[in-house]
Amino acid sequence: MADKVIRASAYGGSVRAFANDIKDTLGTAMGYHGLNPLAAVALGRALSAVSMMGEMAKSKEDTVTLVIKGKGPMGGVVAVCSKEGTLKGYVVNNDYSSYGNCVDGGVGGCIGAGYLNIVRDLGMKEPYTGTIPLQSGEIGDDLAYYFTYSEQIPSLVALGVKLNPDMTVKSAAGMIIQLMPGADKDIITRIENRLREGRSVSNMMEKEKTPLGVLGFMMPDGDVQITGEKSVSYKCDCSRERMLRGIASLGRDELEKIISEQDVVETTCHFCLAKYHFQSEEIKKLLVKQEPTINSG
């Protein structure tokens, strides 16, 4: 069954909810990146979160990027949901041996203090950006804080990843449940109690089997109705042209330095680790395009 994210309403429209199953998506990401266990959990949570935020977008052309940057040895994680449910992401530092005693603190301990940044590219001149300090580094807690305090939407966010002993993905799922204006505040209390009963979204997915089943468990008296559904998958959209534009953005001084030191420039895509090679002559053409213009008169 293909990975998917669903959008739903409950309690007569007083609640909107999102849930997903991204088991295969995370498996594909792990195949690209060769992730260590903690990095796999971190990226799985981030991809789960951003896939649901992508479903919140009003236009199919909107792109949502989640950036978590911390001072811990993992460094952070980046996840992107673009257009028709294509996901991509990476962990800044995948070297498990460098994490040291931070592994005792889980994902949050290895990310450390820092910030969460949400960028929504709505196709306008400037993207919308929201930033909050990290509350725990566990991603779900931080995203709930972001929704509640930055967007003024009381939210419950649960993100879960379980791995098998052979480092294949046992489950990767998430849910976001939000109160709409005027909703009974007791609803969120009942939902929180159900989450404690279910223990984790991973356990619920293993038992209920589907995103709709998870939401049904969380809101058994809410008359949950699906209002949207979308398939999701891991797919990188890098290309030579895109990578060359990235090199051009380095600026004239850096380009001149590169040409003086290298005959061939190698760049690597963060999202799929594909390597691209550019001859110095190609870089020189970028310099010509950046020649300053002189206004007369």
Task: Encode pLDDT of 205-232 as tens digits.
Answer: 989 989 999 999 999 999 999 999 999 9
pLDDT score at 295: 45
Q: How far apart are CA 234 and CA 169, in angstroms?
A: 14
CB 65 within 8 A of CB 79: yes
pLDDT bin (cut points 50, 70, 90) of residue 297 is: very low
Instruction: For residues 162-168, give the mean pLDDT.
Output: 95
Q: What is the pTM of this model?
A: 0.91
The reply to whether 4-234 and 240-289 are identical in fold is no
Q: How far apart are CA 134 and CA 234, in angstroms?
A: 26
pLDDT score at 124: 62
- Report CA dihedral (35, 36, 39, 44) to the nearest 10 degrees: 60
Q: How far apart are CA 19 and CA 52, in angstroms?
A: 7
pLDDT score at 139: 95
Instruction: For residues 264-277, give the mean pLDDT.
Output: 92
Annotate 98-119 with DSSP letters as a single string: G-GGGGGGHHHHHH-SEEEEEE
Whether the pLDDT of residue 85 is over 90: the answer is no
At the second CATH level, the architecture of 4-234 is 3-Layer(bab) Sandwich (3.55)
pLDDT bin (cut points 50, 70, 90) of residue 296 is: very low
pLDDT bin (cut points 50, 70, 90) of residue 264 is: confident
Instruction: For residues 53-71, give the mean pLDDT.
Output: 86
Where along the chain do its domains lie?
4-234, 240-289
Whether the pLDDT of residue 246 is over 50: the answer is yes
CB 65 within 8 A of CB 118: yes
pLDDT bin (cut points 50, 70, 90) of residue 265 is: confident
Report strand pairing: 86-91 vs 233-234: parallel
B/e letters for 109-137, b = 16+ CB within 10 Å, e = fewer, are bbbbebebbbebbeeeeeeeeeebebebb
Least confident piece of the model among 1-5, 29-33, 40-44, 134-138: 1-5
Compute the C-alpha angle 92/237/291, nearest 5°: 85
Task: Encode pLDDT of 5-31 as tens digits.
Answer: 999 999 999 999 999 999 999 999 999
Whether the pLDDT of residue 294 is over 60: the answer is no
pLDDT score at 60: 65
C-alpha dihedral sign at 197, 157, 210, 201: negative
Whether the pLDDT of residue 126 is over 80: the answer is no
What contacts 117, CB < 8 A, 6 or more positions away? 65, 66, 67, 68, 69, 129, 130, 131
Least confident piece of the model among 4-13, 110-119, 122-131, 242-251: 122-131
Least confident piece of the model among 36-45, 114-123, 127-136, 167-176: 114-123
DSSP letter at 137 equals S
142: helix, strand or coil: helix
State the average pLDDT for the chain.
90
Q: Which CATH class is domain 240-289?
A: alpha beta
